Amino acid sequence: MYKSYSLELAGRTLTVEVGRVAAQANGAAFMHYGDTVVLSTATASKKPREGIDFFPLSVEYEEKLYAVGKIPGGFTKREGKPTENAILTSRVIDRPMRPLFPKDYRNDVTLNNMVMSVDPDCRPELVAMLGSAIATSISDIPFDGPCATTQVGMIDGELIINPNQEQWKNGDLNLTVASTSEKVIMIEAGANEIPEETMIKAIYKAHEVNQIIIAFINDIVREVGKPKHEYDSYAVPEELFNAIKEIVPPEEMEKAVFTDDKQTRENNIADITARLEEAFAENEEWLALLGDAVYQYEKKTVRKMILKDHKRPDGREITQIRPLAAEVDIIPRVLGSSMFTRGQTQICDVCTLAPLSEQQKLDGLDENEVSKRYMHHYNFPAYSVGETKVSRGPGRREIGHGALAERALIPVLPSEEEFPYAIRCVSETFESNGSTSMASTCASCMSLMAAGVPIKRMVAGISCGLVTGETDDDFVLLTDIQGLEDFFGDMDFKVTGTTEGITAIQMDIKIHGLTRPIVEGAIARCREARLFIMDNCMKKAIAEPRPEVSKYAPKIIQIQIDPQKIGDVVGQRGKTINAIIDATGVKIDITDDGAVSVCGTDPDMMNEAVRLINIIVSEFEEGVIYEGKVVSIKEFGAFVEFAPGKEGMVHISKIANERINHVEDVLTLGDKVRCKCMGKDKMGRISFSIKDAK
């Protein structure tokens, strides 16, 4: 049955068509927002997946280049692997929706979003977020929704609901907030040092808009929503818990869990699990559920001790940060390096500088963003958590963590005019026990300063956790959560920023939302902690950016030329510019507005390249002496090349003080000579003299 529903949202019409397409999916929403079109579908397998102890949810965001009138590049002319933006969008859709599915649901669920048309005024990422929520809500898949998502930008201090692509790119705030009908369930933000109080205001402005969208979705569900299907529950039976507690009393589990060493804790739990496997060897049904049962027993133990006794597994106070250490220049010959350690989390970051031509080229749906100057890459090898696993390249988690640290540091980077380099930071995880992305932010900040990048201010990051009780006002916030507190807690609230304000937020939760006191408390706690990390750790390693880049870094000289002269510098088929490059060994980049960057390691050769470019773009001036090379000899004189493609003629009478009969008597091809510009001759041609330059 075909139905169409519309809502005026931030000055544009959001239309949801149900029953028109993809009728065989469990739920499908054909989304239109302005001229942006996204098909969102939700499908679930008919039977649970065997042998797993988690909910198998997959989220896909497909960018079809026909949506912006492009044909994909490459030999196959098909869309390839997802872009980084597609991966990050999938993660933002996943994070608020995953907690709303039943914890004991084991059927495979796929949320697919196919972008079919893009209107620059209506961002497709937002449409996909709403489409996934609607498709799932109207489907027969068990889901405790609906939820809604709103984006907020800021231009000149004014908050903008659902900004267009240009406002999103050029504004001071990129905020995405997802909500249920009662609480905030996801926050993702990039910000230009936004004060905490402004960020909170923006979050709850988005939350208000989300309530309007949720009411709209509820109307759709009431009309066309399917009854939720029954499913096989994989919850651990209470009798298994009781049997485990008889063998391993609560006080023994507390003793096993509460230690500041991750490996000791894991060994203790492994010993307990082995005892239980031996005790239940005859009960195959219980053995299949034992891993999940021990996990939940451990989780309940940790949560009870934190919530009731304010006792953390490693013995810290609720607001206490783990031991900190920082150092720079730990890797020789690289252009900048640092290491940041917080407890058993350790990141080494290496910074590399290159000419702007080395910036990353982007091929996506945003036609305004075709390149990326600052790149942050994050790696998470198996050895960092004591495991053995073949590396198969970065996964979605690694890409997400790298993007978060990248977003955190972009607001403090110098402009291209101030610092004409492409910049890449790589964070190598040496050891992990919670919040490596925040350690990566701290390490990257220090390696940038060590590399001589003149950042505006120091940036640090920290994660705040949460354990909740039975009521909204029964909760404990935890500063600097370790891995165990992340796994067993309810929230991972990451905030990065400077002394002036916030540069990035990423919030994940496992419950059905956060109250405003929790959000405000977490943001305040993170500010206090990041200032502590800067003052008591990072500044002791390196207090400010180094005044110069490394001696191993390429040096760059920038000059400005008349854009009309770019063709003269480049020459036919690049002949002129390549001649300069071959002669000097430098690298030359020219932008459309005439900004020229000369990059190299030999200052003399760089200066020579600049001299040649200046000659090419300058008009010859009377009285100025030039140096050049004889490239052609005629009966009446010689032609001298002062720069590639820039020649002048010296008449035979201007070669020597005495009379000569043949040019070859004085000059040969390849001779280097000094010439004085004598102005224009009677025919209006520029005349040069060798004899007057001596």
Domain boundaries along the sequence of the chain: 3-148+204-224, 238-309, 324-541, 555-617, 625-693
DSSP-derived letter for residue 513 is: -
For residue 584, what pLDDT is reported? 93
Q: How confident is the model at residue 686 (pLDDT cuts 50, 70, 90)?
A: confident
Using CA atoms, how far residue 30 sits from 131, 384, 672, in Å, is 8, 44, 73
Of the CA atoms within 13 Å of residue 393, those in its CB half-sphere come to 1
- CATH of 324-541, picked from 3.40.50.12370, 3.30.230.70, 3.40.50.800, 2.40.170.20, is 3.30.230.70
With vertex at residue 572, the alpha carbon angle to CA 567 and CA 574, rounded to the nearest 5 degrees, is: 85
Q: What percent of the chain has pLDDT over 90?
A: 75
- DSSP state for residue 693 in the 8-state scheme: G
Architecture of domain 625-693: Beta Barrel (2.40)
pLDDT digits (tens, 9 = 90+) for 43-63: 999 999 988 888 999 999 999
pLDDT tens across 62-112, in order? 999 999 999 988 788 998 889 999 999 999 999 999 999 999 999 999 999
Taking CA atoms, 70 is separated from 85, 336, 366, in Å, by: 17, 39, 11
In the numeric block, which tokens belong to residue 623?
């009285």
Residues 91, 97, 98, CA angle at the centre, nearest 5°?
Answer: 80
H or E element at residue 592:
none
Burial 495-525 (b: 16+ CB within 10 A, else e): bbbbeebbbbbbbbbbebbbeeebbbbbbeb
pLDDT of residue 549 exceeding 70: yes
pLDDT bucket at 28, cuts 50 / 70 / 90:
very high
Class of 555-617 in CATH: alpha beta
Mean pLDDT, rounded, for 335-341: 98
Q: What is the pLDDT of residues 415-433, one digit of tens each?
A: 988 999 999 999 999 999 9
**Side chain identity at residue 685, one-letter code:** R
pLDDT at residue 42 above 80?
A: yes
What does the pLDDT read at residue 367? Answer: 66
Q: Which two tokens stand for residue 45?
A: 């397998």
pLDDT at 368: 67
What's the pLDDT score for residue 391? 82
Average pLDDT, the chain: 93
Distance CA 94, CA 111 (A): 9
Neighbours of 17 (CB within 10 A): 18
Helix axis angle for 575-584 and 603-617, nearest 10°, is 150
Return the CATH number of the domain spanning residue range 238-309: 1.10.10
Q: What is the pLDDT of residues 621-656, one digit of tens each?
A: 888 999 999 999 998 999 999 999 888 899 999 999
Residues 6 or more apart whose Cβ sits within 8 Å of residue 369? 169, 362
CA angle 435, 437, 440 (to 5 degrees): 115
Residue with tokens 């010689």: 638
Residues in a beta bridge with 686: 680
Residue 686 tokens, joined: 């520029």
Same fold, 3-148+204-224 and 555-617: no
151: buried, middle or exposed (CB in 10 Å: 19+, 13-18, 0-12)? buried
**Single-letter code of the amino acid located at 654:** K
- Report residue 619's pLDDT band, with 50, 70 and 90 as the boundaries: confident
- Which comes out higher in pLDDT, residue 202 or 592? 202
What is the distance of C-alpha 35 from the center of its chain? Answer: 27
Identify the burial level of 29 via C-beta atoms within 10 angstroms of its C-beta, where 0-12 means exposed, 13-18 middle and 19 or more buried: buried
Q: Reply yes or no on whether the pLDDT at 192 is more than 70.
A: yes
> Which CATH number among 3.50.50.60, 3.40.50.1100, 1.20.1560.10, 3.30.230.70 corresponds to the domain 3-148+204-224?
3.30.230.70
Report whether pLDDT(266) > 70.
Answer: yes
Q: What per-residue confidence (pLDDT) applies to 53? A: 83
Summarize pLDDT for 452-507 with one digit per residue, the tens: 999 999 999 999 999 999 899 899 999 999 988 998 999 999 999 999 999 999 99
